[in-house]
Chain A
């Protein structure tokens, strides 16, 4: 962590797909903080994945090292007005090297003609030489100076990289195994043509020095700059030649012309963070808002946990991020103003949540599209089943009425039968009691008592006779009712048999309707739930947009 609260970092992880395919990591990154915190550097490079670029991992390392060295030189120049020196020996080496270059090489085009000499390109002072002697001159005070300096910087990086690549190739010519991988390029490589292609890589680099943020980029990947007012943008002009899976590259013939740059004056606009990332980051998101949210998350983590834990976080986060996202190698680097991002952390926190909620809403919207046809079909099925049931009910209407009448009659008969049975039981009990009384041992005593009362000893016999007659009547009534009930039941069974198929159809229709209705209700509930969740998410999103930063 630096004294002035400026923190720079970098991290590269091998992509999940590269791990699974046993491919090397083709990304590289670097960061540097000057001891006195006078300047900071961050760099990422993405070696091309194509099999014809089989040395892109070496190419990305080379460009990272070269860019770092060149940015340090530039920082020294800006800070101390210290120029890059090229001594005689180096010049001789360069000239000797150039003489061996092929006519189609970058070197030949740039330096093999009379137009520009190595000395002119690398060693001459800026046009505004005299200004350099002005007190406090930072090399950037005049717009044209900036242009010249940046041009010299990018030219030098392109030159150094091409030189390093060619030197590497001279020491390590392509092996047969490598040439087999090279496909259509194999023949060219054999003839030592466009060998730089094998080392192809992108580059994004940032230098924060004095009041400036200097950004350069060749190829794809993104540089997110976060400002003091909470805004974020990608100030390096985009190259329209970077599209689909095509990118411009350090190995391009006209890389010195393609390479883009941008200088931000921090006195005019406060920059709180600058993050560089290879395309493995942006490819994990559906849009650039996702990339911004990713870097905002990093900012929040730095503020919350500090630099040491942040490095551990990156160690753990990035491999998993690659696995779940693009699968590609991932490199991130950054130069962060800790005070600035601390101020904005809560705003970022809210914006990250808003982004995630908008993602969730999209997922729900997509799910709803997926569910709509089935929802409609199930509703139609339920409606069709209901209509079919109504039709069957209509078909069975007359029969239903008859059956209902017979059912009611049956119920009445059963009720009456039950009543008679109860009465019968009571009478039987009475007869039983009387018989018992007549058979009692103390019958004479009883008779005497009754005779005293009724003066007729045959009274009990009369009661008995009456009861027995009543019993007979009730038995007869029960038999009649029972027969009637049996007849009624037979009638119902006959009717049912007669309408069996109609009834079966009705029963089937009832079951089908029940099933269709249950199925639709269940799915409709899920469908409505998605709707409700979508609305809930939309409401939360509105709240987040309205809620002022605390």
Chain B
């Protein structure tokens, strides 16, 4: 008889590596901030497209959630492969409903939603950016999303833009104050969001081979060590915040396929 026409190893798709951007587009972002954000994101997407071409192990996918008084995915059907992703300009206006954004994100961080994939996925990367204070209580939504395993184990980075940004909120959202960048410099933001996206995606797709899992704080440290930024971007270590509860990450059995 003939052997199976299809090799059992043949056509194994690459694991998905999802990068989520959760971006504040409230009224205070009007003007240069939103213009820089649009430019920075466009450039970041282009760099990720190039990176995706050379990453044989991971299928790089992008999802963008903008939030103001409401929240909206740029790609409502699910994360898009980097090569297909097209940045569409966002406009500033409205309030800063971080709670709504976290609730929306939580609903999509599931294998039944945005994380459905042929052969599982790498830990997602989630990058938050906000320039203000949440206009309503985000804590209930944060408590819920912290129970989401994908969120708990994701590489999370926060950008606190302007002096008016709620550093404590961002530290709580990303779970670690060392994973938050604070700056007024939008050009620096443009450089760092590119750096963080590229570095995180590179490390995330190889993290299964590392002894220690990669965290958002590692990415920020890397940015400082490599001279992309100075230590000024780190927030005051005395900032009081509610850190993310510890989860057991370094498990030999990688069974995220079973997660919801």
Contacts and interface: CB of A to CB of B under 8 A. Distances in A.
A374 B86 contact: yes
Contact of B252 (A26, A294, A342, A363): A26
A422 B17 CA distance: 76
Interface string A62-101: 0000000000000000000000000000000000000000
Contacts of A304: 1-3
A154 interface: no
Interface stretch (A127-135, A172-180, A222-230, A319-327): A319-327
A345 B3 CA distance: 9
Nearest to A300: B4
B4 A50 contact: no
B211 interface: yes
Interface stretch (A257-265, A352-360, A499-507): A352-360
Interface string A328-353: 10000000000000100110110011
Given A293-B8, A353-B5, A371-B84, A326 B254 contact: yes
A67 to B, nearest CB: 21
A286 interface: yes
Nearest to A381: B86
Contact of B208 (A327, A346, A362): A327
Contacts of A279: 253, 255
A325 B12 contact: yes
Given A21-B209, A320-B9, A370 B255 contact: no
A183 B254 CA distance: 19
B9 A244 contact: no
Contacts of A373: 74-75, 77, 80, 84, 86
Contacts of A325: 12, 119
A372 interface: yes
Nearest to A301: B3
A439 interface: no
A366 interface: yes
A90 B143 CA distance: 56
B164 interface: no
B81 interface: yes
B78 interface: yes
Given A245-B258, A317-B8, A352-B6, A17 B86 contact: no
A304 B5 CA distance: 13
Contacts of B119: 284-286, 325
B239 to A, nearest CB: 28
A356 B11 contact: yes
A349 B118 contact: no
Contacts of B208: 17, 20, 327
Interface string A283-306: 111100000011011001101100
A245 B255 contact: yes
| Of listed A22, A244, A342, residue having the most chain B CB within 10 A | A244
B8 A353 contact: no
Nearest to A48: B253
A47 to B, nearest CB: 9
Contacts of A48: 252-253
| Chain A contact residues, majority secondary structure | helix
B232 interface: no
A352 B248 CA distance: 37
Contacts of B88: 377
Contacts of B81: 367, 370
Interface in B208-258: 208-211, 248, 250-258
A301 B8 CA distance: 11
Interface in B144-162: 149
A20 B209 contact: yes
Nearest to A372: B77
A18 B252 contact: yes
Contacts of A293: 8
A49 interface: yes
A374 B4 contact: no
A23 interface: yes
A462 interface: no
B140 interface: no
A374 B75 CA distance: 10
B85 interface: yes
A424 B81 CA distance: 72
A374 B252 contact: no
Contacts of A517: none
Given A304-B1, A363-B13, A51 B118 contact: no
B4 A49 contact: no
A356 B10 contact: yes
A20 B206 CA distance: 10
Contacts of B27: none
Contacts of B211: 21-22
A373 to B, nearest CB: 5
Nearest to A356: B6
| Of listed B4, B10, B85, B248, residue having the most chain A CB within 10 A | B4
Interface string A1-38: 00000000000000001101111001000000000000
B120 A51 contact: no
A481 to B, nearest CB: 57
B250 A51 contact: yes
Interface string B49-79: 0000000000001000000000000110111
Nearest to B12: A324
Nearest to B5: A353
Contacts of B77: 369, 372-373
B129 to A, nearest CB: 22
B153 to A, nearest CB: 11
| Of listed A245, A297, A377, residue having the most chain B CB within 10 A | A245
A189 B260 CA distance: 33
A522 interface: no
Which 8 A-B pairs have CB atoms at the shortest separation, nearest pair first? Answer: A49-B252, A49-B253, A20-B209, A245-B255, A356-B6, A297-B8, A352-B4, A370-B80
22 contacts: A18-B252, A23-B252, A49-B254, A245-B251, A285-B119, A293-B8, A296-B4, A303-B1, A317-B8, A324-B12, A326-B257, A328-B254, A345-B1, A349-B1, A349-B2, A349-B5, A352-B4, A352-B5, A356-B10, A360-B11, A362-B118, A363-B118
Interface of B: 1-6, 8-13, 61, 74-75, 77-81, 84-86, 88, 117-120, 149, 208-211, 248, 250-260
Given A349-B1, A360-B11, 17 more contacts: A17-B208, A17-B254, A48-B253, A51-B251, A286-B117, A286-B120, A286-B257, A294-B8, A297-B4, A297-B8, A300-B1, A304-B1, A304-B2, A325-B12, A327-B208, A353-B4, A359-B13
